Amino acid sequence: MASRGNRARSQPIDNTISYVQCDGLAAMKIVKHCHEESLNNMEVAQGALLGLVVDDRLEITNCFPFPKSDEIDEEEYQLNMMRRLRRVNVDHFHVGWYQSADVGNFLSSTLLESQYHYQTSIEESVVMIYDTQKSARGFLTLKAYRLTPQAIAMYKERDFTPEALRNLKVGYENLFIEIPIVIKNSALCNIMMSELTEMVPEEEGTHFLDLGTASVLENHLRCMMDRVDELNHEATKFNKYQQAAIRQEQEKHRMLAKHAQENAARIAKGEQAVPEEEVNKLFRPIPVPTRLNPMIVSGQINTYAQHISQFCSQSLAKLYMTQALQNAKENKQ
């Protein structure tokens, strides 16, 4: 444990951004766009984040969605949008991007590579993930992530073999680092929200036993089962590679031993020995399967486990309480 702690302390830490401050307007735009996409065609919603960096704080003040049509040049579209926002005196600096997720299922090789390109071109950039299904059940889920220095070094090397990942000390637990988010509104917005709160009729305790956590927990468990099956498939694939590599190595040693005996007989007869390279040419190295996808799947399973741990106690407490109330009602009848 001590050696593991020393190794963790020796790894580089990203201190570029300490937290993200998001305006309420930008947050509502992200929520609106993600829910519209999930209701219309169940596609992943993506967009650009605009703002500026103040000391170690990343301020997100505006955003706009990426175009869905293939006929529109995405890069030209973004430049035109930022140019028009600059004309109306709105923050137009690109500071990251956002994406929708479904029950926490957001970790993929595409997201990793996109964030790598963002962070190498814009050092302070973040990716914000909004979970539409969990938020629809009453649990607002808006999180910001950045790639760790180890993950950036891994993508620079473009070598995803087990040896390379071990040398870089990259694992599923240190692919991303979560950045805290603070949602800030202007004083006028806070006054308006206070007035609206007074106008909305207060619920009389009906939301305290809302079993919305049960459906969220069930969806997380189903998704985790799928990811565990996928990880098991990747493990089987890697085990087959190891068995094939061991068999090839054993066959190579057997051939080299036989070749050494034949060379000894040739030398005894006064003939010239055959070089070992002829034997090595017969055995081509077996390609090592990439370990990036298993690492991503393991990271997704870890995310599901954290979410399940968060909801499990709350959901079980509500279920037991509801069961007790139901039993009491049946006993009275």
Contact 145, 115 (CB under 8 A): yes
The per-residue pLDDT for range 108-160, each reduced to its tens digit, is 888 888 899 999 988 889 999 998 888 887 778 899 999 988 889 888 888 88
Average pLDDT over every residue of 232-253: 89
7 pLDDT more than 50? no
pLDDT at 102: 82
Residue ranges of alpha helices (H) inside the chain are 2-10, 24-40, 74-87, 109-121, 132-136, 149-157, 162-168, 187-199, 212-269, 277-280, 292-332
Higher pLDDT, 215 or 266: 266
Strand partners, 182: 21
Residue 105 lies inside a defined structural domain of this protein: yes
- pTM listed for this prediction: 0.75
Average pLDDT over every residue of 199-209: 59
The verdict on 190 and 236 lying in the same domain is no
CA distance 189 to 147: 33
DSSP H or E segment with residue 182: strand 181-184
Strand partners, 99: 46, 129
Tokens representing residue 216 in the block:
């969220």
The verdict on 160 and 293 lying in the same domain is no
Q: Which residue has the tokens 């709350």?
A: 314
Higher pLDDT, 125 or 215: 125
The verdict on 286 and 161 lying in the same domain is no
The verdict on 69 and 99 lying in the same domain is yes
The per-residue pLDDT for range 63-91, each reduced to its tens digit, is 988 887 777 777 888 888 888 888 887 77
The verdict on 233 and 171 lying in the same domain is no
Contact 145, 104 (CB under 8 A): no
pLDDT at 97: 93
pLDDT at 6: 43
The per-residue pLDDT for range 28-68, each reduced to its tens digit, is 999 999 988 888 776 788 999 999 888 888 999 989 888 87
pLDDT at 1: 35
Total count of domains within the chain? 2
The verdict on 92 and 47 lying in the same domain is yes
Q: Which of 17, 108, 33 shows the shortest CA–CA distance to 68?
A: 33
Contact 102, 38 (CB under 8 A): yes
Considering the chain, what percentage of its residues have pLDDT values greater than 90?
13
Contact 132, 102 (CB under 8 A): yes
